[in-house]
Every structure is written in structure tokens, then in C-alpha cells.
A = this chain, B = another copy of it.
Amino acid sequence: MRSIICLISCKDKEGVISKITDFIQTNKGNIISLHQYVDRENGMFFMRIKWSVKTLKLSIDEIRLLFKNLLHHDPNSKINLFKNSDRPNMAIMCSKDKHCLMDILSRHKLSEFNIEIPLIISNHKSVESIAKLFNIPFYYFNLKENNKKDVEDSQIELMKKYNIDFISLARYMQILSPNFVSKFLNNIINIHHSFLPAFIGAKPYHAAFKRGVKIIGATTHYVTSELDAGPIITQSIIDISHEYGVEELVKKGRELEKSSLSKAIMLHSERRILVYNSKTIIFE
């Protein structure tokens, strides 16, 4: 049995569910899951539907064309189709903090994700030992004041070479240029160590300590050209007390950061996320 996942965004016209499910039934497909959401404010319809077929008579491209016909070639519509057997290629970029990287690679080693990880990029040489541990190609870039554009160009080349589908910033403490970001729109996942929109930017744990908050959080989001303002994927928090100094916040925060980022990678790789108007629709 093979399975196919389809993500659809389109104007909310009546009948999309009925048309798509009718197509699947007619083609002897068996619906495994169907999630839909109507954004009434914007008059938009979103759906994730997964079905299995014994033999794939139509190619993905042919199905896409048929679905476009069903939606009358609405220019606002987006149709994304994936075979479950397609494992996306994810690059990891990280700086010196290794807990998120370690968590991703540990899960990858135990086959928890349905992805390939062809390379790890870092601006810190110390990360190489972890990459080696898990036998993944590692690229070090010595970022300086004046070489950011060159470095990013080389990184983009690498992404092409390895056929990268999406990127995880596993505590990558560099701001990517709008050019870089535009190459991977809604395909770069960042983990920010606060409950956004609170404590945007550098040193959120220090800011949280200073404000005397009673919770700390972590937020994963797609990177856009505006700092920490991209569509939010996941947010999680833990309770803290006055007893936590900055060092303890950093330590406790690591737990949130790594589990949040791995959760976001899971959701993205399973094609559960749609982006519309700087917000995410997530079908869990």
C-alpha cells in the first residue's frame, strides 16, 4: 500500500471536500485521515487529506492537474502533493549550543523522523565532533564582519548540491539575510528561546529573569526577513520560580528548546503545516 498526502489552500467555495473525496473514492483510494479548516474572516479553505492506494495509477503530477481542474484553476489556490515514501532532505545549521543538534541527531539515529539529514553547517568548529559522532557531513564557516554574503552564497550552493528541502536552525545565532530567507520561504524552522512575541532578539533568558516572569518558553517559527516575527509553529513553556537564576533558566530552557524544535521538524516533515497570512494552520 502506498499513501499520498495532499495539502490544499483555496477560496472557501462549497464543495471542495465533496469533490476531492469523490475523486479518491472513484480511484479506489482509502482515506486515512482528513482535516479541514475554514478561515471565515478571509474566506479561505484549508485541507490535509491522506489516502492509500494499492497501486498508483496516476502520477503525482497528474493528480495535481486533476485537482487544479476540480478547483477551476483558482489562482489563489495552492495544491501540494507528496508520496509518503518521499523523505525530505533537511539541513541543520547551528552555533555552539549543541543540545538541539544532539536531540535531532539522536532521534534521527533511532529513525523517529521520516527525513534525510545530508549535512550540518556551523560557525563553530566545536560542533564537528557531534556531526562526526553521527557520521554526517559537516561544513564549518568562519563568519566575520565582512564575509556574510560570501558565506551565505556558499551555503546556498551547498543546499543546492545536497538537494535540501528545508532547514532547521538548531540554535543558530546568526541572522540570515533576506536573500537567503527568500530561497527557502516557509522552509526554515527556527527555535527562539522565549514565548514570542515576548523577549524578541538576543538574551531572552536574561530579559525573562529581569522581568521576574513565572514561566519561560520556547517558540518555533518559520524564518522571515523580520526578526522573530515569522509564522509560529509550536510554543511550549515551563513554570519557574524566583529560585531560578539566569543559569538555571538556560538549563531548564534547553529541555523546551530541543523538544519544541524536534516537534516542529516532525510536523513539517509529515506535511502537517500550511502557512497563510503569516500564521500557520497545523493539522495534527
Question: Which A residues are within 8 Å of any B CB, using their own CB?
Answer: 14-15, 17-18, 21-22, 25, 30-34, 36-38, 40-41, 98-99, 102-103, 106, 109-110, 112, 133-134, 195-199, 211-215, 217, 219, 231-237, 239, 241-243, 245, 251, 255, 259, 278-282
Contacts and interface: CB of A to CB of B under 8 A. Distances in A.
B102 A106 contact: yes
Contacts of A243: 37
Given A110-B99, A231-B212, A22 B18 contact: yes
Contacts of A280: 212, 242
Contacts of A241: 282
Contacts of A282: 241-242
A14 B233 CA distance: 33
Nearest to A284: B241
A21 B32 contact: no
A18 to B, nearest CB: 4
Contacts of A278: 212
B212 A279 contact: yes
Nearest to A242: B281
Nearest to A231: B212
Given A17-B31, A38-B32, A195-B198, A102 B98 contact: no
Given A25-B15, A110-B98, A36 B34 contact: yes
Contacts of A106: 102-103, 106
Contacts of A199: 197
A18 B113 CA distance: 33
A270 B42 CA distance: 26
A97 B13 CA distance: 37
Contact of A215 (B134, B217, B245): B217
A102 B241 CA distance: 29
A232 B213 contact: yes
A255 B107 CA distance: 11
A38 B40 CA distance: 27
A232 B259 contact: no
Contact of A213 (B34, B133, B235, B259): B235
Contacts of A217: 195, 215
A41 B215 contact: no
A31 B22 contact: no
A197 B211 contact: yes
Nearest to A208: B197
A40 B106 CA distance: 32
